[in-house]
């Protein structure tokens, strides 16, 4: 049985046309599911009994299950079980500007970044769009508030699951449904060049973030094997093309790893690499994990790195810390639960 949360409004409309129903039924169903949050067709009062039965026989609704929730200061962490028993995580952050949700896009990840907990579990499979939609619905139900921002930055490489992630974006962006503005949605990638090119052709204003983490190929290839496939020169020129085409600003994420990528030399190198690019850099204090040897850069050194970028006219921020108290570094909760 197909899951109803896997359908864009257009696909739902096509379905209704196919079965000889009025196309506007798709709007009714979307409003029922996403505005009224009805999880059963039976509760939808504006459709006939026959149609309710047909829909119940054709589509399933909730499939993923909330297993565990950890609450910290301004952050909640959720562990879900998928219908096949696999586990994924989402992180919810309460900011002064709104509430943002970090969703996972895969079970495990194949990118094997040296510092990342998620990558210690090889990719088992891609998430379906509905499994990402349900992360959001279940968490909104839990907090009784609306999520204002979504980042696809949890476990997995979203551009290694391109079609499902784009479908998820379409579903949560739809005005008849969850209606999260595209400017409030961000996809984060380790730098898959062909998909960045594809993404440049998409409609809408979804934000792109790139996990950079190093300013030269030697270091980046050591930290992020994906760099051996797409060197910095190719990555940066693809990003320049993306910006030219979309006129959108790109975010570069840079985790601060003690004595690895955080020296003055690297700050200067990074400034040169990004010179003239419409971007900003987000410096992320590394979340240490038990299983991996990397340490977090000391605060004074992060500030120094920040100052060097600033003085070279690079827009830069230091990420406010959230996850630490609740094992929110990617993959930590799952790793602990196993
Ligand atoms: N695969 C995508 C999205 C998931 S990772 C990507 O690479 O962007 C989300 C971000 O968290 C990435 O920037 C990743 O490098 C970073 N990250 C991974 N482990 C981390 C840790 N322990 N502490 C801080 N950031 C981490």
Whether CATH 3.20.20.70 fits 65-337: yes
Confidence of residue 289 (pLDDT cuts 50, 70, 90): confident
- Mean predicted confidence (pLDDT) in 141-166: 97
Does ligand 1 lie within 6 Å of residue 159's CB atom? no
> Beta strands 87-94 and 99-103: pairing type?
antiparallel
> How would you label 137-152 residue by residue, b for 16+ Cβ within 10 Å and e otherwise?
bbbbeeeeeebebbbb
Identify the active-site residue in 13, 89, 128, 195: 89
Query: How many angstroms separate the CA atoms of 283 and 53, rounded?
Result: 52
Confidence of residue 121 (pLDDT cuts 50, 70, 90): confident
pLDDT, residue 322, reads: 59
Residue 230 Cα to ligand 1 midpoint, Å, equals 18
Confidence of residue 114 (pLDDT cuts 50, 70, 90): very high
Residue 153 Cα to ligand 1 midpoint, Å, equals 7
Query: How many angstroms separate the CA atoms of 76 and 270, rounded?
Result: 33
Does ligand 1 lie within 6 Å of residue 224's CB atom? no
- Say yes or no to pLDDT of 333 above 80: no
What's the whole-model pTM score? 0.95
Backbone CA torsion sign across 235, 243, 188, 135: negative
Helix boundaries (H) for the chain = 9-18, 25-30, 49-58, 129-143, 162-173, 193-200, 217-223, 226-229, 232-246, 264-274, 299-311, 332-337
Query: How many angstroms separate the CA atoms of 218 and 231, rounded?
Result: 10
Q: Is 290 a catalytic residue?
A: no
Query: How many angstroms separate the CA atoms of 124 and 127, rounded?
Result: 10
What would the pLDDT profile of 73-84 be if each residue is shown by its tens digit? Answer: 899 999 999 999
Name the nearest CA neighbour of 252 among 284, 223, 217, 282: 282
**Cβ–Cβ < 8 Å for 129, 152:** no
Confidence of residue 320 (pLDDT cuts 50, 70, 90): confident
CB atoms within 10 A of CB 89: 26
pLDDT cut 70: percent of the chain above it:
94
Does ligand 1 lie within 6 Å of residue 116's CB atom? yes
**Cβ–Cβ < 8 Å for 135, 102:** no
- Say yes or no to pLDDT of 242 above 80: yes
- Say yes or no to pLDDT of 292 above 90: no
pLDDT, residue 326, reads: 54
What would the pLDDT profile of 169-196 be if each residue is shown by its tens digit? Answer: 999 999 999 999 999 999 999 999 999 9
Between 63 and 138, where is the model more confident? 138
pLDDT, residue 330, reads: 52
- Mean predicted confidence (pLDDT) in 132-141: 97
Domain ranges of the chain: 2-60, 65-337
Does ligand 1 lie within 6 Å of residue 284's CB atom? yes
Which DSSP helix (H) or strand (E) runs through 316? strand 315-318
pLDDT, residue 189, reads: 98
SS3 content of the chain, % helix, strand, coil (to 5): 40, 20, 35
Confidence of residue 94 (pLDDT cuts 50, 70, 90): very high
pLDDT, residue 117, reads: 86
Q: Which of 50-54, 65-69, 125-129, 325-329 has the lowest mean pLDDT?
A: 325-329
Query: How many angstroms separate the CA atoms of 33 and 47, rounded?
Result: 13
The CATH number that domain 2-60 falls under is 1.10.150.530
**Mean pLDDT estimate for the chain:** 93
CB atoms within 10 A of CB 40: 13
The angle at the Cα of 191, spanning 187 to 192, to the nearest 5 degrees, equals 95
For 330, half-sphere exposure in the C-beta direction (CA atoms, 13 angstrom radius) is 29
pLDDT, residue 1, reads: 87
Identify the active-site residue in 102, 113, 116, 330: 330
pLDDT, residue 325, reads: 53
Q: Is 330 a catalytic residue?
A: yes
Which ligand 1 atom is at minimum distance from the Cα of 190? 7
Distances (CA, A) of 162 to 132, 199, 216: 13, 9, 27
């Amino acid at each position: 049985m197909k899951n109803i949360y896997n359908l864009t409004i257009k696909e739902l409309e096509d379905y209704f046309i196919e079965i000889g129903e009025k196309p506007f039924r798709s709007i009714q169903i979307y409003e029922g599911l996403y505005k009224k949050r009805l999880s059963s067709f039976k509760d939808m009062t504006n459709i006939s009994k026959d149609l309710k039965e047909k829909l119940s026989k054709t589509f399933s609704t909730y499939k993923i299950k909330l297993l565990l929730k950890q609450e910290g200061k301004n952050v909640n962490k959720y562990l879900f079980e998928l219908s096949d028993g696999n586990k994924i995580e989402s992180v919810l952050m309460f900011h002064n500007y709104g509430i943002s949700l970090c969703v996972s896009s895969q079970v495990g990840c194949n990118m094997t970044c040296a510092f990342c907990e998620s990558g210690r579990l090889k990719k088992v499979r891609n998430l379906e769009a509905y499994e990402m939609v349900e992360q959001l619905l279940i968490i909104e139900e839990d907090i009784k508030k609306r999520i204002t921002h979504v980042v696809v930055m949890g476990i997995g490489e979203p551009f290694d699951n391109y079609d499902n992630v784009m479908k998820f974006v379409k579903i949560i962006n739809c005005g008849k449904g969850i209606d999260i503005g595209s400017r409030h949605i961000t996809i984060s990638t380790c730098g898959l060049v062909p998909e960045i090119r594809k993404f440049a052709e998409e409609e809408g204003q979804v934000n792109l973030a790139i996990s950079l983490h190093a300013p030269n190929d030697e270091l980046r290839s050591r930290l992020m094997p994906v760099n051996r496939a797409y060197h910095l020169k190719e990555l940066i020129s693809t990003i320049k093309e993306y910006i030219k085409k979309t006129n959108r600003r790109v975010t570069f994420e840079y985790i601060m790893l003690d004595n690895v990528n955080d020296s003055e030399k690297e700050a200067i190198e990074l400034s040169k690499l990004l010179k003239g690019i419409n971007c900003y850099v987000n410096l992320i204090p590394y979340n240490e994990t038990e299983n991996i040897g990397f340490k977090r850069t000391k605060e004074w050194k992060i500030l120094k790195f920040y100052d060097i970028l600033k003085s070279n006219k690079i827009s830069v921020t230091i990420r406010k810390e959230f996850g630490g108290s609740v094992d929110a570094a990617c993959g930590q909760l799952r790793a602990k639960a196993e």
